[in-house]
Amino acid sequence: MTKSLNTDYFFDEAAYNTHDGGYVPLAEPKTPQQALRIPPLLKPDKETATDTYYTVEAQAGETQLLPGKKTKTWGYNTSLLGQTLVFAQGKTMHIDLKNSLPELTTFHWHGLNVPGPYTDGGCHAPVYPGQTRHIDFKVDQPAATLWLHAHPCPSTAEQVWKGLAALALVTDDHEAQLPLPHTYGVDDVPLILQDRRFHEDNQWDYEADYDPDGVQGPTPLINGTVNPYFDVTTQRLRLRLLDGANRREWRLHFSHDLPFTQVASDGGLLPEPVAFTHLMLTCAERAEIIVDFGDVTPGETVTLYSDDVPLVRFRVHEFTPDTAVLPEHLVEMPNPDVTPDMPIRKVVMSGMDETVMMDGKKFGMQRIDAKQQVGNVELWDVTNTNDMEGGMVHPFHMHGTQFLVVSRNGRAPYPNEHGLKDTVGVNPGETVRLKVWFDHTGVYMYHCHILEHEDGGMMAQIEVFDPQHPKTYKLMDMETLMKAVAEERGIAVKDLHLAGMRSYEKMGMKM
């Protein structure tokens, strides 16, 4: 067990979202506490020793979030968020992606090592209303908390805001035999951290709340629950934390600074457990933490906060003493050598509001910005040059790979960044060096995961190629997408004004 206890958030305080011009502070809900919703596990259509068959249906519905009128929401196999998928390592998944929404969407598997761009489910893989797309892939990565979310250009942010986000848990034999809590919903509990603003009749209104630097709301929404409590019936609780918000950072800590142990990050187990009292997550990052209630008297409540606002109240009940001790070493980390003679790749995230760009350009769907040979191991230097008004942290995300964080401005990464990651928060004026390799060929997006920044163009794409087997890809184009969306809405293309398009329009650029 790591002896040192980390008590700070590590990120640059001056760049916290609390300093944004348009920052929306969280407020403690005034409505009664309710039991934390646990996303149900999705039942496979069929399962054999080697194969699992799922149907994932994007659908519109209504959800009782506040007393009074239900809120119109979207979800996967449910009215809000989604049912949780389980991907057992080594098995082949066969998934029908069904779109029962009134508009086109895509199904992106965030953190999953699969071929791009169609299986990966970015902007090039739209599923039109009433249609179904089928994907198959072999699960070939370690146990991890991944997620599924919509990723259509340029409406990713709006569709996620409406509710399109679900969990996908990769399992493997190594993780299963570790002394970690494993009972889903009882001592192994996901916490999808989001925020929303409720308007008249308890409805969400993305357009009304639009901010090109990221849409926020004052009400914490945890697994789609306003003001949740959770009944703790075991000494140790494993929380799978996901920053599923469009823009919000979460600065997490428990009442009385109860320490906790992080055991996994985005791509799976950390090489060693790390003890914390405070933990900051940027958009799309995940952390699995073990909270030990051994010193808490049954009957007491332990509260999880972000900054000074309560998120979840853990009501501690009687439990059987648990003496399990985590091993000092959790998993062997892959650390391949960099391929000789490869120049260091440079990526620059710049700007704020409508000026956001990647390498001085806004995203172009039909433009390949970089190429990397499959299997090659390269260093990527990812820089955030945005220092306007103290700047902001941009969470840099790559599709199709789990990378290693090598350094931050030449110094060691944060204590919980020694595992595989797919998203890393980059401070203003900082260069984060990554070690990047891809196992599959394809076209993959990489972008800021503040969802309004990616829709606004802080995004690029890389082709991962195999020189022995060159491929061509049918890449989507804006014209086709805009025509489809206009048709769905029964309006002319010229009258279509999706939020994400405004950043391009204001900069006089074409999508």
- Least Å from the CB of residue 165 to Cu ion: 18
- Cβ proximity to Cu ion, 65 vs 393, nearer residue: 393
Contact characters 357-396, Cu ion, x per CB under 5 A: -------------------------------------x--
Pair of tokens at residue 144: 């991890």
- Cβ proximity to Cu ion, 15 vs 42, nearer residue: 15
- Least Å from the CB of residue 348 to Cu ion: 12
- Cβ proximity to Cu ion, 355 vs 373, nearer residue: 355
- Cβ proximity to Cu ion, 440 vs 453, nearer residue: 453
- Cβ proximity to Cu ion, 52 vs 282, nearer residue: 282
User: At 487, is the secondary structure helix, strand, or coil?
Assistant: helix
- Least Å from the CB of residue 453 to Cu ion: 4
- Least Å from the CB of residue 212 to Cu ion: 10
Q: Residue 503 in contact with residue 456, Cβ under 8 Å?
A: yes
Q: What is the Cα–Cα distance from 27 to 40, expressed in whole angstroms?
A: 28
- Least Å from the CB of residue 392 to Cu ion: 7
Q: Do the strands 278-281 and 250-254 form a parallel or antiparallel pair, or are they unpaired?
A: antiparallel
Site for Cu ion in 391-430 (CB under 5 A): 394
- Least Å from the CB of residue 203 to Cu ion: 27
- Least Å from the CB of residue 189 to Cu ion: 29
Residue 214 is which amino acid?
A: G
Start-to-end CA distance of the chain, whole Å, equals 50
- Cβ proximity to Cu ion, 132 vs 355, nearer residue: 355
| Residue whose C-beta lies closest to Cu ion | 448
DSSP 8-state symbol, 410? T
CA 36-39-44 angle, 5° bins: 160
Contacts 24+ apart (CB under 8 A), 317-325: 317/231, 317/232, 317/233, 318/233, 319/232, 319/233, 319/234, 319/235, 319/293, 320/234, 320/235, 321/235, 321/294, 322/234, 322/235, 322/236, 322/294, 324/179, 324/236, 325/1, 325/179
By rule CB under 5 A, what count of residues binds Cu ion? Answer: 4
Phi, psi of 433 (to 5 degrees): -95, 130
- Cβ proximity to Cu ion, 445 vs 448, nearer residue: 448
Distances (CA, A) of 47 to 113, 159, 174, 328, 448: 21, 30, 22, 36, 36
- Least Å from the CB of residue 349 to Cu ion: 6
Site for Cu ion in 437-476 (CB under 5 A): 448, 450, 453
Distances (CA, A) of 161 to 37, 206, 217, 245: 18, 7, 10, 8
Residue 511 is which amino acid?
A: M
- Cβ proximity to Cu ion, 394 vs 421, nearer residue: 394
CA neighbor of 226 nearest in space, from 67, 455, 381:
67
Chain contacts with Cu ion (rule: CB under 5 A)? 394, 448, 450, 453
